[in-house]
Chains A and B, each alone.
Chain A
Amino acid sequence: MLLKILCGILVAIVCRQILFFVDVFGIYVTVRTHWPGPCRNVEPVVTGSENIAVTKDGLAFITSGLVPQYRRETVDPRMRRTFQGKIYLFDFNTPEKDAQDLKIDREIDFMPHGISLLEDESTGEIKLFVVNHREHHDTIEVMVYDQHEMTLHHVTTITDPLFTSLNDVVADGPNSFYVTNDGYFRNSSLRTPERLLTLPWGSVLYFNGKSTHVVVPRAYEPNGIAISNDKSMVFVNMPFLKSIYVYKRNTDDSLDLVHNLNVNISFDNVYVHPVTGHLWLGALAIPHKVATAAANIDHIAPAVACRLEPRGPPTDVFQSFHLYEVFADSTGLLSTSSCVVEYNGKLLVGSIFHKLVYCLMETKY
């Protein structure tokens, strides 16, 4: 009798998980193409452009060379053989020029993922915070961009045992930042059951300049993270929940969840527009195709990029929102879209391990 009940419960759990993943993986989603204006690839980026940070003058720093950490042994061997971690620089003011591979003045084991930047208003210094997947652990590399030499000067490496599986970073001060751990098991085979059983073993951490502590102790695959322009709100994408979590930031740097935006699409990274405060989001439009593309980069996972505009009252702007689908492509121009940034009517759409797209927005979004 007890056995029957246990079996029944197990069947129910399995059914629930199957339905959950069928919905999350986008098995029945179709992406139809539409561009906001002329769009093209940015040379010479072919090893991904997972995350992008932009200065107020239109200098975009792009992380590239990310080999999916999850189940690395199943990833396309071409990626494992040829991808090298790098940071590209693209200048929105001279878009006809290629993106430039920036040299780092220190030899480090480098596979970058999330990126954030801070501009010092008085000195004009551009400081980058980059999530780095080193061989055996994850770190945050802090670098300063040298505008004359056009290189990156490595300042320091920050790491902590709490960094279990870093994904993205957002700096809120010259020495402090929030990071997301997208799970517990970094790239071992134990990550598969952790993910399939929807175990909320990811987290959000805060580094205050001296030490790291946990601000969101339990989360299921949190991904991109960003902070509002006035630093009062923190946004975390939850692609497996097809939601964006909006947190209120307290004076002690702790976070309180205030909104769960049901966007019904899996957003990877989020960029808060420095002028409008709107959220620009790159989507993993059909997640199961992203998984197929990881095993064979010739398969295309269609690209989608959106802008989320809050429409709530001034006291609670994210109470309601409008979601604009700014860019969608299933022609192969871009596969595995992960982020989008906007500068002066121009877009850069990045991908996890494919190319980089530049669009001129003729239609106002």
Chain B
Amino acid sequence: MFLKTVAFILLAFLVQRAWKLSLGFGTSDVGYINRPGPCRNVAPIETGSEDIAVTSNGLAFISSGMQLSDMCSSAVDARFSQFVGRIYVFDFQNSKQDAVEVSLPKELQYNFSPHGIDLLEDSETGEILLFVVNHRKIGEFVEILSYQPESRSLSMVRSVTHELFTSLNDVLAIDRNSFLVSNDAYFRSCWRILEPLLGLRWCNFIYFDGTVGQSIIENGHDFNSVALSRNGKQVYLTRPSEMKLEIYNRSKGTETLKLHQSINVGMAVDNVFSDQSTGDLWLGSHPSLALLTKHLSDIDLRAPSQVIRIQPLGPQNDPFNTYKLFSPFGDDGELVSGSSSAVHFKDKLLIGTVAHKVAYCEVQS
């Protein structure tokens, strides 16, 4: 009798987990192709373009070559260990030119597996500071780098690590020394698979003020990407397995966040980009996490891609009170596999992927 009860509870638990996971998992074998206008790949990027940050002048910084092998090497394609971490720069205003590799500071050469990226522009000096999540061999770091445009190089300003950095994903720069950063898991190793399977909530969202790091949101299970609203009053956070974009009200200074709204977009979302000119949110998304997982275990297997745009229709103080969802771009994985990010600049789109290429599209309709 007791055994039957335990077995029943276990079964109910497994069914609930399977159900919750299956929604974002998506088992379709098809990716629908949909273009906003002419699209093409941007050379020479072939080993990923996980996240992209753009300056107000349309200079896009692309993090590339993330070596997923530090995250359970047996589950991912062996070729990941040969990926070289790089930052590329692409100019939206000179879109016919290829993306150009930016040289890294000495400390990061052979020590660079970049993930989320953000940037700060100093309006007076014009200096561009990059904040890059780096999965170093020894641990999780946020690298703060200064861009030298004449030499197309990055110089090290500061390297930050902290015991709360367990498995970093994306970073949001607040000022020269402080930032918000998300943990997408507790374990960095193969044990991380247990977290979504068992519904463990061991992730947190961290504020680093320059000296001290603290959790500002705790007990989450899937904090992925983070972005800031135009007026700085709201922070956007993506939750891929729940197919949601969460909107938090932010108290500047203390950086306390309070959940205000949750938008279910119906697909596993990855990185979020807040368009400073329109207030729109652009999301790189995965129509099928099942196919994405297969693609990561064998890069030659294609994973469908999709870009989602959320257009705010509400008032200034609550822009997403009402909104519209658009899907301006979809691909079956041939042009771009595993789209993780999308940035928009003056009717042009740049779409980045976890381990594949980059697409540049003109938005005609």
Interface residues of A, Cβ cutoff 8 Å to B? 28-30, 32-38, 262-265, 306, 322-326, 328, 330-331, 362-365
- In the complex with contacts A264-B28, A264-B29, A264-B30, A30-B266 CB distance below 8 A: yes
Name the CB-closest residue of B to A304.
Answer: B32
Binary contact track B316-327/A, C-beta < 8 Å → 1, others 0: 000000001111
Asked whether A365 lies within 8 Å of B35 as measured between CB atoms, the reply is yes
- Please measure, in the bound complex, the distance between the C-alpha atom of A220 and the C-alpha atom of B100, giving whole angstroms: 55
Binary contact track B44-71/A, C-beta < 8 Å → 1, others 0: 0000000000000000000000000000
Q: Residues of A contacting B23 with CB < 8 Å?
A: 28
Cβ of B332 < 8 Å from any Cβ of A?
Answer: yes
- Please measure, in the bound complex, the distance between the C-alpha atom of A102 and the C-alpha atom of B308, giving whole angstroms: 42
Interface size on B, residues (CB 8 A): 27
- Please measure, in the bound complex, the distance between the C-alpha atom of A265 and the C-alpha atom of B30, giving whole angstroms: 9
Q: Residues of B contacting A37 with CB < 8 Å?
A: 364-365
Shortest CB-to-CB span from B40 to chain A, Å, is 13
Q: Residues of B contacting A364 with CB < 8 Å?
A: 35, 38
Asked whether B32 lies within 8 Å of A262 as measured between CB atoms, the reply is no
Cβ of B265 < 8 Å from any Cβ of A?
Answer: yes
A–B complex contacts, Cβ < 8 Å, 20 sampled: A28-B23, A29-B266, A30-B266, A32-B325, A33-B325, A33-B326, A34-B34, A34-B365, A35-B365, A37-B364, A262-B30, A264-B29, A264-B30, A323-B31, A323-B32, A328-B34, A331-B324, A362-B364, A363-B37, A363-B365
- In the complex with contacts A30-B265, A322-B332, A328-B327, A362-B33 CB distance below 8 A: no
- Please measure, in the bound complex, the distance between the C-alpha atom of A97 and the C-alpha atom of B95, giving whole angstroms: 41
Q: Residues of B contacting A326 with CB < 8 Å?
A: 34
Cβ of B330 < 8 Å from any Cβ of A?
Answer: yes
- In the complex with contacts A30-B267, A34-B34, A323-B32, A363-B364 CB distance below 8 A: yes
Q: Residues of B contacting A325 with CB < 8 Å?
A: 32-34, 327, 330
Number of A-B contacts (CB under 8 A): 69
Q: Residues of A contacting B220 with CB < 8 Å?
A: none
> Secondary structure of the B side of the interface?
loop
Asked whether B33 lies within 8 Å of A34 as measured between CB atoms, the reply is no
Asked whether B324 lies within 8 Å of A33 as measured between CB atoms, the reply is yes
Cβ of B279 < 8 Å from any Cβ of A?
Answer: no
Best-surrounded residue of B34, B37, B325 (most CB of chain A within 10 A): B34
Given contacts A32-B266, A34-B327, A323-B32, 8 further A-B contacts (CB under 8 A): A32-B308, A37-B364, A37-B365, A306-B32, A323-B31, A323-B33, A325-B32, A362-B365
Q: Residues of A contacting B35 with CB < 8 Å?
A: 363-365
Q: Residues of A contacting B364 with CB < 8 Å?
A: 37, 362-363
Best-surrounded residue of A38, A264, A326 (most CB of chain B within 10 A): A264
- In the complex with contacts A28-B266, A30-B266, A325-B33, A36-B365 CB distance below 8 A: yes
Q: Residues of B contacting A265 with CB < 8 Å?
A: 30
Binary contact track B284-306/A, C-beta < 8 Å → 1, others 0: 00000000000000000000000
Name the CB-closest residue of A to B24.
Answer: A28
Name the CB-closest residue of B to A325.
Answer: B32
Asked whether B36 lies within 8 Å of A322 as measured between CB atoms, the reply is no
Contacting residue for A34 out of B31, B36, B266, B334, CB 8 A: B36
Shortest CB-to-CB span from A184 to chain B, Å, is 30
- Please measure, in the bound complex, the distance between the C-alpha atom of A33 and the C-alpha atom of B324, giving whole angstroms: 8
Shortest CB-to-CB span from B35 to chain A, Å, is 5
Q: Residues of A contacting B312 with CB < 8 Å?
A: none
- Please measure, in the bound complex, the distance between the C-alpha atom of A328 and the C-alpha atom of B324, giving whole angstroms: 13
Cβ of B328 < 8 Å from any Cβ of A?
Answer: yes
Shortest CB-to-CB span from B48 to chain A, Å, is 24
Shortest CB-to-CB span from B360 to chain A, Å, is 15
